Structure 1
Amino acid sequence: MDAKKYGLTIYRIRKDLKLTRNFCYEDIMAKSNAQLFEKGESCPRFDKIIPVLNRIGISFDEFLYVHNGYQETPDEKILRGFVNLKDTTNTEGIKQLQAEIKAVPLTNTSTFISYLQLVLEAFLVFEKEQSFIRAKEIVAPIWEQLQRQENWYYKDILIMANIYYLFDEKAVDTIISTMLIQVEKYKNYKASVNLDTVILLNYCFYLTERGRVLESEPYLDKALANARKNKHSDYLLQAKMRKVVLLIAQDKAQEATRLTNEIMVTLDCLERPHLKKDFQETWLEITKKKRV
């Protein structure tokens, strides 16, 4: 994206809002520089553009959206698609997102998109083979890179929150402690409202898959509370599914059966056949072991 053209968009917004050039640029940049900027003939430093946007009353995110013809950038569109997948059983959605990534020109491919290509491939392998080993091999390069970073940013945390359970115990302990520190920095960031819930749910899955389901209770309770607080039905459903597994492990078969029936009805109402099928298989597996 040519930053020189930012000025053309700011000019258009300024005119729409009937704001004078003097009002928008006074004490920020010289009049002659502002004129060149609005003609698309110069690009001031970023720390000059932000104060202008603040004075106009528009966030940088919204400005980019308007500048891009009222469309998301490729990265943001793909990010939204990834967040909206909700779970790894959505193979159709995963393949569709892979196709969207392939359509992005190589010159626009960011590190995030490169990481995401590996994550989506690992999701499909895990869903097909139910193999931690193969899926881990695919995403291992991501962890090799991120463990060398002192700070993780939102997209780094989002990526790791969705794959860390594939790694071995030593790595998971390190990743969890790092993520919980890093995600705290983003508690007021609008896009991260459910990120800690994803981390907690995947940790519950990690503990369950390693025969430590009883240890998951405090993390599951926190995930349930988060999902209810944020009114996020998908994560609430996933947390309730994990709750069923915990109840069976606690020999609370009647309560587990009651909750399972509620979940099945909800999944039917939400038209989530793939997630329902996955949960039914989990239910049959755990009840067969416990003979419910």
Structure 2
Amino acid sequence: LEKNDFLIDLSLVAKASKIFQMEQNFINSRKIVEPVWKRLAKKDAWFYNDLLLITNILYAFDDLTIQHIFERLLIYIDRYRNFNTSKGLYINIHFNYAMCLRTVNIESDKMEFHLNKSLEAAKELNDFLTILCCRYYLAEILWNKGNKKEATKEVEKVFTVFSILQEKELLEDKLSDWQEVSGKEWLDTYS
């Protein structure tokens, strides 16, 4: 039964992620993962599979709840620190939490802190895509703080590497985000 619940929850999380990618907002995604959280919230203890699910539905929570859940996640991740994949989970928790902060446009210092945590852990694993995504979002923070020249240089490096790696979807996504943040359109340069 537990395995079946996990597979059902995993399919809902994947569906919600796909909906978010298409719509670029969390409204409908939250509705899809609501039953996942209702089941997990009742548990006294979270196991590794639960952590995988919760890490990928952080956006479903309000600001106060997410802070509590995030702190609880870190405690549980520490229990699994000897698992080979625990570092990846650590990377994702910090990255996804930073993305939640980004969607509400508050606490850029907190967002920066969690992006840097994710970035450092991603460097240890040579997780290049996460490194690039972190660097991109840190450049957005630089831009919003008024360091426009430095931010522009950084995103140009990130876009160049995405292009070299032929990560077309990520490149297009970040180019679109950058246009929203900065008003600059670079599609011709990297297409």
TM-score by length of 2: 0.89
2:92 equivalent in structure 1: 198
Deviations 1:43-66 (A, max 9, x none): xxxxxxxxxxxxxxxxxxxxxxxx
SS of alignment partner, residue 193 of structure 1: helix
Query: Structure 1 stretch 179-188 or stretch 215-224: which is displaced more?
Result: 215-224
1:143 Cα offset (Å): 0.9
Identity of aligned residues (%): 28
1:84 equivalent in structure 2: none
1:222 equivalent in structure 2: 117
Contact persistence 2:19–2:28 (CA under 8 A)? yes
* Alignment match of 2:160 (pick from 242, 251, 265): 265
Q: Aligned AA for 2:156?
A: N
**1:282 is aligned to 2:177:** yes
1:160 equivalent in structure 2: 54
SS of alignment partner, residue 128 of structure 1: helix
**1:235 is aligned to 2:125:** no
Query: Structure 1 stretch 112-121 or stretch 210-219: which is displaced more?
Result: 210-219
2 CA distance for matches of 1:169 and 1:281? 26
1 CA distance for matches of 2:178 and 2:98? 16
**1:117 is aligned to 2:117:** no
Contact persistence 1:204–1:242 (CA under 8 A)? no
Following superposition, which runs of at least 4 residues in structure 1 exceed 3 angstroms of deviation? Answer: none
2:187 equivalent in structure 1: none
Q: Which runs of 5+ in 2 are unaligned?
A: 185-191
RMSD, matched Cα: 1.8
Contact persistence 2:87–2:121 (CA under 8 A)? no
SS of alignment partner, residue 257 of structure 1: helix
2 CA distance for matches of 1:122 and 1:282? 20
Deviations 1:85-137 (A, max 9, x none): xxxxxxxxxxxxxxxxxxxxxx9x62221111101111121112223121100
**Could you say which structure has the larger radius of gyration?**
1
Contact persistence 1:214–1:249 (CA under 8 A)? no
Q: Aligned AA for 2:69?
A: I
SS of alignment partner, residue 183 of structure 2: helix
2:188 equivalent in structure 1: none
The structure showing larger relative contact order (alpha-carbon pairs under 8 Å, at least 6 residues apart) is 2
2 CA distance for matches of 1:181 and 1:215? 19
Contact persistence 1:220–1:243 (CA under 8 A)? yes
2 CA distance for matches of 1:288 and 1:165? 26
SS of alignment partner, residue 126 of structure 2: coil
Q: Which runs of 5+ in 1 are unaligned?
A: 1-106
1:175 Cα offset (Å): 1.6
Contact persistence 2:30–2:60 (CA under 8 A)? yes
**1:248 is aligned to 2:143:** yes
* Number of matched pairs: 183
Q: Aligned AA for 2:52?
A: L
